[in-house]
Amino acid sequence: MKNLSILKIMLVNFLLVGFVYAGNYDHTLDEWEIETYSSAAPDYIGNFATIIGGDGKIIREGTNGWTCMAANGRPYPKKGWKNAHDAMPACSDKEAMKWMNAFMNNKKPELSKDGWMWMLHGDVGEDNLVAGVLNKKDSTPGEWIESGPHLMLIPKNIESLDNWNTDFTTGEPYVMFPRTIYAHVMIPVEGYYEYQKESQPK
């Protein structure tokens, strides 16, 4: 009887996994979005941050001044993003949110001071030099980077980055979108090259 119960549990787990992998999921649910987007930062930040859902509405009010949301600029899927990496969630402080809003609306960021943004699930890839290029075939040759976990420094003074390194293959912090109004520092953390192993330092 005990073995039969174990078999039933295994069968249920198998069916649930198959259900998700077959695409039969609903990641538009508040619970999924809250858990997924908040985990883009360390829990001592994400657990207390405001969460914005895929429809642009606040689904949880925070208490620490940080905001977490999906940062994937591609069209929002009918069933939501298939996983955390696909959603590209970002957790931003107040200054970084000013930058995020400006970036999403093709406007110039107006910051009062430097900002910080966590993206511990990385992103699904973009051109390192040209903002808004979201397809590898359209990117600058050799400049496509699908990032793993990282922290971003959003500078108030973008000119301060003019002489920074833009090479993402060294493992060191580097500049994305150099000499543009959206220039910022990418700070790789453990697992950064998980999705693009050919770019990791040799």
Which residues have a Cβ under 8 Å from the Cβ of 93 and sit 6 or more positions away?
65, 66, 115, 116, 117
User: Among 95, 139, 133, which Cα is nearest to 115's?
Assistant: 95
From the list 136, 147, 141, the residue with the least C-alpha distance to 174 is: 147
List Cβ neighbours of 106 (8 Å cut-off, separation of 6 or more).
none
Count the domains in the chain.
Answer: 1
In angstroms, the CA 95 to CA 98 distance is 5
pLDDT at site 19? 41
The tokens for 10 are 């295994």
Q: Residue 160, SS3?
A: helix
Flag whether 46 is in a domain.
no
Boundaries of domain holding 142: 93-202
* Neighbour-count burial of 124, counting CB atoms closer than 10 A to its CB (0-12 exposed, 13-18 middle, 19+ buried): middle
Cα separation of 142 and 79, whole Å?
33
What's the predicted TM-score (pTM) here? 0.86
pLDDT in tens, 138-186: 999 999 999 999 999 999 999 999 999 999 999 999 999 999 999 999 9
In a domain, 81, yes or no: no
Q: pLDDT band at residue 25, thresholds of 50, 70 and 90?
A: confident
What 76-81 contacts at long range (C-beta under 8 Å, 24+ apart), as own/partner pairs, is 79/23, 79/25, 79/26, 79/27, 79/28, 80/25, 80/26, 80/27, 80/28, 80/29, 80/32, 80/33, 80/54, 81/27, 81/36, 81/54
Report the percent of the chain where pLDDT is more than 90. Answer: 82
- When comparing pLDDT for 52 and 19, which is higher? 52
Position 10 confidence tier, pLDDT thresholds 50, 70, 90: very low
Distance CA 138, CA 153 (A): 26
135 belongs to a structural domain:
yes
Evaluate if residue 61 carries a pLDDT over 80. Answer: yes
Q: Which residues contact 159 (CB under 8 A, 6 or more apart)?
A: none
What is the pLDDT confidence band of residue 23, given thresholds at 50, 70 and 90? Answer: low
30 sits in which H/E element = helix 30-38
Q: Which tens digit of pLDDT belongs to each residue from 62-111? A: 999 999 999 998 998 899 899 999 999 999 999 999 999 999 999 999 99
Question: Chain-wide mean pLDDT for the chain?
Answer: 90
Decide if 189 is inside a domain: yes
Confidence of residue 16 (pLDDT cuts 50, 70, 90): very low
Q: Tell me, yes or no, whether 19 lies in a domain.
A: no
- Beta carbons of 62 and 49 less than 8 angstroms apart: yes
Answer whether residue 193 is part of any domain: yes
Give the mean pLDDT of 116-144. 97
Q: Which pLDDT does position 28 carry in this prediction?
A: 86
Q: Specify if 13 maps to a domain.
A: no
In a domain, 17, yes or no: no
